[in-house]
Amino acid sequence: METMQLEKNDTSGVYAKREISLVRGQGACLFDDQGKRYIDCVGGQGTANIGHCQPPVVQAITDQLNQLMICPEIFYHPNRGLFYDALLSALGPAYNRVFLCNSGTEAVEAALKFSRFLTGRTKILAAMRCFHGRTMGALSATWNKHYRQPFMPLVPDYDHFPYDNIDKMTAKIDDQTAAVILEVVQGEGGIYPGSTAFFQAARELCSKHGALLIIDEVQSGFGRTGKLFAFMHHDIQPDLITMGKSIAAGIPMGAVVLNQDVPDLRPGIHGSTFGGNPVATAAAIASLKFIQENHLVENAAEMGAYFVDQLQAIDSPLIREVRGKGLMIGMELKQKVAPILAKLAEEGVLALPAGMNVLRFLPPLVINKEQIDQVIAATRKALAE
């Protein structure tokens, strides 16, 4: 309790916090400082796809810590080449370059800068309800005025159209557009999956107008939706793919992957002191291997379908809709979600909100049926009280 008070006294104040102090994680479970066990459906806000503290990943990080902790990108480091190779092999031959940074918003920021640099244009289109981060470029793309309003004026030349609406997107995109940025499943906005027709139209329109298609996989990537990357559900090839969150098992890292058709960048146009850090890349290599060797993408598809079925079977007048893809799941309620989150925590389940009235579940992809059943029982109870 004492450390919780210390944190309360001295924190910046930008976070609304819950009265839980977490000290340990194992697989799909978390433990607080009182020894209470929770099924983790927060998943480190989507960073813990492989589960907490998986031994081979811990070992890879520990080995790297004993070798070298920092190596700026002006030098080579073996981990970078190994990670590029593993990631690009998983993505297929259309992708041939990677830029590394330290968070999701930085990945988005880099993709936006690359788009402006490569097209010589400034207009960026994004979707209503989207979330792409909180730095000024990414925030300008982000839709929610709660995040934007205090920081106006934002970067000029950003515009929005309704998500999954081909006609409205077609009306906005033109020969001045540098890029269109889209989430395949809108996460923070409330767990809304887009349609194949929409993404294929976005692809065609970008090609027609010489704009770049940025797919933001920060939350949906690394198996979360039942494919390694969510755009793979829709048979499209983005020009730029942004990644973060689960890329390195919880160690801070972000990335932008470039399609082979995207022209070359040049030295100096962008960079990052910590980007491509040896410890983060060691974690990323081991984490991707863990996902592949343990068939976590398949497990996300299978467990996700089971999870959604079980949630849909809950008979409660408070539920408006259950939706999602893989283990990126939202339950929209007819009331505010905060009291339900508190009741779930009492029952030993940690979950997230997405907006005011969507209960969001982002469990580690190692979650099993028995654990999902516990989450369902807790949700049923929380909704009934």
Which residues of this protein are in contact with ligand PLP, per CB under 6 A?
103-105, 108, 131-133, 183, 187-188, 216, 218-219, 244
CB of 142 to ligand PLP, least distance (A): 8
CB of 216 to ligand PLP, least distance (A): 4
C-beta of 71 vs 184, nearer to ligand PLP = 184
C-beta of 30 vs 191, nearer to ligand PLP = 191
C-beta of 108 vs 284, nearer to ligand PLP = 108
C-beta of 30 vs 218, nearer to ligand PLP = 218
CB of 100 to ligand PLP, least distance (A): 14
The number of C-alpha atoms within 13 Å of 278 and in the hemisphere containing its C-beta is 15
Q: How far is CA 305 from the centre of its chain?
A: 20
Amino acid making up residue 52: H
C-beta of 326 vs 382, nearer to ligand PLP = 326
Sign, CA dihedral 294-102-193-355, equals positive
CB of 190 to ligand PLP, least distance (A): 12
CB of 365 to ligand PLP, least distance (A): 17
Q: Which residue is nearest to ligand PLP (CB)?
A: 104
CB of 98 to ligand PLP, least distance (A): 17
* Summary count for the chain: helices (H), strands (E): 13, 17
List, edge to edge, every strand of the sheet that includes 158-161. 95-101, 254-259, 240-243, 212-216, 177-183, 123-127, 158-161
C-beta of 247 vs 288, nearer to ligand PLP = 247
DSSP-derived secondary structure for 322-368: EEEETTEEEEEESS-SHHHHHHHHHTTEE-EESSSSEEEE---TT--
Beta carbons within 8 Å of 189's beta carbon, 6+ residues apart: 129, 130, 131, 143, 144, 163, 183, 354, 355
Question: Residue 297's closest CA among 230, 227, 232?
Answer: 227
CB of 89 to ligand PLP, least distance (A): 24
CB 135 within 8 A of CB 115: no
C-beta of 121 vs 129, nearer to ligand PLP = 129
C-beta of 135 vs 294, nearer to ligand PLP = 135
CB of 188 to ligand PLP, least distance (A): 5
Q: Say how many residues make up the chain.
A: 385
CB of 36 to ligand PLP, least distance (A): 26
C-beta of 217 vs 332, nearer to ligand PLP = 217
CB 311 within 8 A of CB 373: no
Paired with 349 in beta bridges are: 39
CB 222 within 8 A of CB 246: yes
C-beta of 213 vs 376, nearer to ligand PLP = 213
CB of 303 to ligand PLP, least distance (A): 21
CB 279 within 8 A of CB 135: no
Question: Residue 364's closest CA among 47, 10, 36?
Answer: 47
Per DSSP, which regions of the chain are E strands? Answer: 22-26, 29-32, 37-40, 95-101, 123-127, 158-161, 177-183, 185-186, 192-193, 212-216, 240-243, 254-259, 319-325, 328-333, 349-350, 352-353, 358-361
